[in-house]
Amino acid sequence: MSNTSGVFTNWGEAYGKFVEVFIDGHWWVVGDSLENIGKTTKRLLVNAYPFLYGGSASSGLRGSSPEVTGYAKPCKDIEKRFKD
C-alpha cells in the first residue's frame, strides 16, 4: 500500500457520480410531477369553467351525459338488458 491516494480519489469520484445521479433523478421526478399536476389542474379548470378556458358547454360537468348530448341512445328497456 505505497500509493493510498488512489483510494481516496476513486472514492471521491464514485461519491460524485452517486450525488450527480441522485440529484438528476430527483429533478426528473419533481419535473414530471409538476408537469402532471399542471396538466391535471388545466383539465379540471376547463371542466369547471368551460367558457373561460376554451371548452364547450357540452364538455363541462353539467349536461355531458349521453342523453343530453345525443351521442348515445338507449335502444333497449332496462329489463331486456339484463336478460340477454
**pLDDT tens column, 53-79:** 665 555 545 555 655 555 666 676 777
Per-residue pLDDT, 50: 75
- The DSSP annotation for the chain comes to ----HHHHHHHHHHHHHHHHHHHHHHHHHHHHHHHHHHHHHHHHHHHH-TTTTT--GGGSSTT-SHHHHSS----S-HHHHHH-
Q: How many separate domains does the chain show?
A: 1
**pLDDT tens column, 29-49:** 999 999 999 999 888 888 788
The residue segments making up the domain with residue 78 are 5-83
